[in-house]
A and B are shown apart, each in its own frame.
Chain A
């Protein structure tokens, strides 16, 4: 099969996206309620920090605005997985019912085609809330604001999102091997709620686990440190883009391996 160019994929992505948005917009009420629901969760996270900090002035050397910065960072970092890779949630059902086979016969990249089919718009509310939280705490902390620092921010946000995307891809792909894989996907999705805490609050053992085994520290803490405390980022912080890319690549390979191994249900 001839390799398709990147331009071809971008063009086709927007074509699929337009169709998908049209069909979602026919359920306008659902879209509005879902977006409000999403923002509700984010506000609740915000309120929790606010309640904690009315009682305590700092947590392990981290102030209120620094914690908010991490929270905002984690919200923005998990938006791409919400918006662009939401079809992973349907994978188990498609594989089980046999519908997945239809994707295998398209003359384009299977992973690309499958993921492009759904764009989850309700994630955009979270994106807006996350950016607002970052901007608010950024201003309150008086962090340096230059083109370079914003560029750094974008690069490290993307690296962080790749980690979350990779975790979810791998978890979703487990359905090709395991029957009741919903709980694995659900488990991995909950990890993103824990990404907002600085890894320094954990003991050595758990710091190791959350860095190398369940890499949730790469969803916000390590990459955010580059902006938040520019004087003390570790090697791991600067390595986070590499970690993101490598993890994404591995998860892609796992996903594709499962998908090519798939041989339908026979119907």
Chain B
């Protein structure tokens, strides 16, 4: 029996299934606990203690929140388009969850049994393009949610959210394109390998696109300086008619996006699973398993830095007005990123032969 199970484990299909389950479990726990971390850190920034009552250090708080959301009454308005109303929350959170599959978390730890990469689920050729298209799919959730609610206010909120996310996706894409040009590949692991071989993280030569990416990633996930679509207590957003777990799904979707974009950023700009100040590839040939685990740790630390940046910015800046938001998007970020793109393209063409 055991040998049969062991043989089954070696097949690539089952191994992939196991990896999917592990990835989902880890992703969900991280998403659940980033809500707690955010609330506690926001407390620290405002010199108070965050939620610390439920369990030691408030560690059971996310579970309590989830239970509360599930128990709440789930209402569907009469005038709403009920099918779209039910589908829309899943649309926000599913695409970014798919995006986790594209990431590569460490240098390959190849098992002797089956020649599979243990720290990557699907290292697709056009990984970056897939990520970008998935993130634009996420807009549908907000738009459909606003449209299907059957009320004017969520409708306008949905339109607002849609135009914001569309306008900030252009500079985001353009800043990522510069990275792709430097690395000569759309595959995420190739981008990291390029940074490892050059021994230079891309945020140094591409500092402008790095800053643009930082701004756009906050705007993409509707977080605080740009949180007009939601506007937690002040503005009527697209999810006004939602209640219970459907409302919770919008928040889970937002936090999934936060986690995903803060895991994508180190791969693009900070060298991903590369350990700083160490020649990774040379060492990897000697101690493959040690280096891949250490690389995984460094990747985790880097993405935690980005998640911290999200919360830090949320604690610091007030919200932009809507016209200011669109002005920043179209009149500042877009020209800068276009010029940046041309400069990087010129340097790539003529200087780095």
Task: Tell whether A and B belong to one assembly.
Answer: no
